[in-house]
Structure 1
Amino acid sequence: MSDSTVYRHRDFLFFAIARFLGTTAMMVQSVAIGWQIYDMERTPLALGLVGLCQFVPMFLFTLPAGEMSDRFDQRKLLAIAQVMMGLCSGLFLVLSIFAVKSALAYYAVLVLFGVGRGFASPSGQSLLPFLVPPERLPRAIALNSSVFMVAVIAGPALGGFLYVFGPEVTYSLCMANLLVCAVLIAVLGGRRKPPHSDTEMSRLDRVKEGIRFVRNRPVIFGAISLDLFAVLLGGATALLPIYARDILHSTPVGLGLLRSAPAVGAAVVALMLARWPVERQIGVKMFGAVAVFGVATIVFGVSTDFWLSMGALFVLGASDMISVFVRQSLVTFATPDDMRGRVGAVNMLFIGASNELGEFESGITAALFGPVLAVVVGGLGTLAVVGTWMKLFPPLRTVDRLKDVKVEQA
């Protein structure tokens, strides 16, 4: 079968549209959930629990889902996960229609939503290399990141706007988006993995094999662990409802704009990377970008001006996009096909820990020390992580070009 038959232009288009719809739904939903729960509870800890409720099931299910992604068709697994997340949006819709005021009910649905994300993440991470030829993969990664960031921009702003008309409208859109996303994923073509042949290895052993693969490769392990600790400490976005309402004295629309600002910066950089990818000194540039992320976090933490806060968040997102592009490219180029699901699971577990667990950490520290000190200390911690990781992972710091990173077998 020729490449022109295997790789169809429509497959990447459908994948990109599905990524846009699914990400938009999650961003819209995150604005609604954050505002609803903070409105009910009025404590930073309540916002932290939003992240924890999603992280725990993701932590439990992501690695097994990665092993399944290496054995079965990622398209089917991803489509089923999207349906599950769409049904969770439907449950949020029901809770809102009946005006349920207990945060516990929303937390319970967030746990189910976290299970769906746990199964979706490894499949989505491992699918792209099977949809485009290898020579187009770096640009496809950049374009995919651009689509993702446009959704992250549009999602929060749209969520803030829709919430003015009520959470019912917001969750209805989320449910529809996720179900359409599932249909698009289910009809994808592209290159298929060879039929899975059973070995004597148990599923647990295969999961452990994926973890060992990442742990024994400093370039991969260093890149994804840098992102874990940098974002875990610098997770200012988890406290945006507090900043919007109590510090910047804004509205749900203002919260949506603040949530969109990092994505605007990231989208601008992603579009630039699609045209001019990072080609030389990628390791050093990745560390530099994370350092800028930490500085921007500190500026946001001390700001009491809405537009200065928007600017700091813009720079934060722009610098994070450089780090994301380098990390995804390094992981993709260094991973063989038969390990993509498990390596993607480890990668997404780290990303989930940095985002959702970071939200919990931010909520705890803000409850103890106040939101401003929590954000500033987090930014300083990010800078400390950059310096430490540059010493711990010399192979990552000295990577020059992506082509220097070879696919390594387990």
Structure 2
Amino acid sequence: MRSLIFVTPLKPYRLDEAIKPKNDPYASLRYKEFKFFLVIRFALIFALSMQFSIIEWKVYSLTKNPLNIGLMGLAEFIPAFSLALFAGNIVDKREKQGMVMKCLMGYLVIGAGLFMLTWDDLVAGIPQSAILMMIYVLLFCGGVLRAFVSPSNFSLLGVLVPRELYINATTWSTSSWQTGAIAGPVLGGLCIAWLGVHWAMLVVLGFMLLALAAVMQIGKKPVHFKDIGETVKERLKKGLQFVWNTKVLLNAMALDMFGVLFGGSVAMITIYAQDILHVGAEGFGMLRAAPAVGSCIILLVLAHRPIVTKPGLKLLAAVFGFGICIIIFGLSKTFALSLLALFASGMLDGVSMIIRQTILQLKTPDDMRGRVSSVSSVFVSSSNELGSFESGLAARIMGPVASVVFGGCMTLGVVITTYIISPAMRKLDWRR
């Protein structure tokens, strides 16, 4: 009977059926392929977050220039932003499991390249500027893959569980992602201390192989896209119009984009660990992991006690609290307080993440998942890299402490503005 979910024509559904609270918090985990999907989510973000933290440490150790950290984020942002809409259009027309597999193979190639560039004996004699340029080129290629992997994963989740389990599945998917985000930076910092940068990159490659093995356990899925003779321009325009006309989607994407853009303190953790808190590689790993630990804990709580009432107001409150935590982190001079502030920011970000992803899953038709997810990537995912660049540039101009505090204050301003101008967000109800 389960296979009928994927081969029968799509039928209209009611949102109140899709968000009806379930007694079983593990309902979506009873689908075998969804469990493999969680392994993919965990292993991929584990590998990528560990890889970025290792390369971030390497680049700053070489240059001692925060702007170089910002350029790392910019190298990923440019292709992810530029290709997102076109990637979503392609994903809508292609088989989703195959798309995820191709992206993972591409990440393996990039990881192997970074592994070679961190091999001191191999790159001996190569100018430092050339090594940095090659790192930026590989990160740029990772940004290209980022444009495709995000809508591919989003679309794949939509065909692995029935609609009535979307909230439950989204919570577990996000928890898996955040667990990987916890372990990646922690192990990255420990491996830098124990093994060195070069051999730490080998661990990254191992987890990428794990993700590739997991995607091979998921079968091919039918494509819901219907070719009605539209041009690429018309399909892209249709996706953009859908997001623009669905105001709660647009508001949620914009809120998160500006919140991440100005509140991206993670990019400054390397500087805080080395130059302000003086906690070394182990402390760096703990600071990087603290937001994800907080987020993962709250996500596990929400799996058992899902958000049902006033999601819009709760989203605004969570992002406002996130901004407060960023300000505290920026002003802190003690490791314990900094760790606590980042932990609390992760808990609040976890709440907002679940609400945003649930809005996206419930409001998006199956045949437009790639395009809508790509629009979300333009607003949300790419803002992480642009936020890293903004943080690096602001730190260069204002100093790291002032730049982090400024970002937190701007986040508060964004929330207040959204509350004032967005009645759709204030009045958001899952059942309407």
What TM-score bracket applies, with the shorter chain setting the length? over 0.9
Counterpart among 124, 132, 135 of residue 164 in structure 2 = 135
Deviation at residue 190 of structure 1 after TM alignment: 7.7
Contact preservation (8 Å) 1:149, 1:267 = yes
Q: How many residues align?
A: 402
Contact preservation (8 Å) 2:40, 2:212 = yes
Q: Deviations over 1:121-154 (max 9, x none)?
A: 1111221111011111111111111111111111
**What is the CA–CA distance in structure 2 between the aligned matches of 1:55 and 1:186, rounded to whole Å?**
29
In structure 2, give the amino acid aligned to 1:58. A
Percent identical across equivalent pairs?
A: 37
- Equivalent residue for 2:66? 44
Contact preservation (8 Å) 1:87, 1:175 = no
- Equivalent residue for 1:339? 368
In structure 1, give the amino acid aligned to 2:331. V
Q: Deviations over 1:247-285 (max 9, x none)?
A: 001111111110000001000100001000001011100
Give structure 1 regions of 4+ aligned residues with deviation exceeding 3 angstroms: 1-8
Contact preservation (8 Å) 1:79, 1:183 = no
Matches within 5 A, 1:171-190: 171-189=201-219
In structure 1, give the amino acid aligned to 2:277. L
- Equivalent residue for 2:89? 67
Deviation at residue 4 of structure 1 after TM alignment: 7.7
Contact preservation (8 Å) 1:232, 1:361 = yes
1:275 paired with 2:299, answer: no
SS of 1:130's partner is coil
In structure 1, give the amino acid aligned to 2:350. M
SS of 1:403's partner is coil
**What is the CA–CA distance in structure 1 between the aligned matches of 2:38 and 2:226, rounded to whole Å?**
31
In structure 1, give the amino acid aligned to 2:208. L
Counterpart among 382, 386, 398 of residue 415 in structure 2 = 386
Counterpart among 117, 125, 133 of residue 146 in structure 2 = 117
What's the TM-score, normalizing by structure 2?
0.90
- Equivalent residue for 1:35? 57
**What is the CA–CA distance in structure 2 between the aligned matches of 1:152 and 1:392, rounded to whole Å?**
33
Matches within 5 A, 1:229-248: 229-248=258-277
Counterpart among 290, 300, 321 of residue 350 in structure 2 = 321
Q: Deviations over 1:185-237 (max 9, x none)?
A: 2431386333x443321112212211111111110000011000011001111
**What is the CA–CA distance in structure 2 between the aligned matches of 1:108 and 1:2, rounded to whole Å?**
44
Contact preservation (8 Å) 1:239, 1:371 = yes
- Equivalent residue for 1:57? 79
- Equivalent residue for 1:297? 326
**What is the CA–CA distance in structure 2 between the aligned matches of 1:126 and 1:392, rounded to whole Å?**
31
- Equivalent residue for 1:166? 196
**What is the CA–CA distance in structure 2 between the aligned matches of 1:191 and 1:140, rounded to whole Å?**
18
**Greater Cα shift, 172-181 or 109-118:** 172-181
**What is the CA–CA distance in structure 2 between the aligned matches of 1:4 and 1:187, rounded to whole Å?**
19
- Equivalent residue for 2:398? 369
Contact preservation (8 Å) 2:97, 2:220 = no
Contact preservation (8 Å) 2:59, 2:132 = yes
In structure 2, give the amino acid aligned to 1:393. S
- Equivalent residue for 1:407? none
CA RMSD of aligned residues (A): 1.6
**What is the CA–CA distance in structure 2 between the aligned matches of 1:181 and 1:21, rounded to whole Å?**
5
Q: Deviations over 1:55-95 (max 9, x none)?
A: 00111222111111111111111110111011101001111
Contact preservation (8 Å) 1:45, 1:360 = yes
- Equivalent residue for 2:431? 403
**What is the CA–CA distance in structure 2 between the aligned matches of 1:174 and 1:350, rounded to whole Å?**
28
What's the TM-score, normalizing by structure 1?
0.95
**Greater Cα shift, 336-345 or 2-11:** 2-11
Counterpart among 209, 214, 227 of residue 238 in structure 2 = 209
**What is the CA–CA distance in structure 2 between the aligned matches of 1:25 and 1:403, rounded to whole Å?**
38
**Greater Cα shift, 59-68 or 266-275:** 59-68
In structure 2, give the amino acid aligned to 1:403. R
1:360 paired with 2:393, answer: no
1:20 paired with 2:42, answer: yes
SS of 2:58's partner is helix
**What is the CA–CA distance in structure 2 between the aligned matches of 1:398 and 1:358, rounded to whole Å?**
29
In structure 1, give the amino acid aligned to 2:342. L
Deviation at residue 160 of structure 1 after TM alignment: 0.5
**What is the CA–CA distance in structure 2 between the aligned matches of 1:368 and 1:55, rounded to whole Å?**
21
1:307 paired with 2:329, answer: no
Which consecutive unaligned segments of at least 5 residues does structure 1 have? 405-410
1:145 paired with 2:167, answer: no
The 1:4–1:173 alpha-carbon spacing in structure 2 relative to 1, beyond 3 Å, is farther
In structure 1, give the amino acid aligned to 2:418. W
**Greater Cα shift, 287-296 or 1-10:** 1-10
Contact preservation (8 Å) 1:76, 1:186 = no
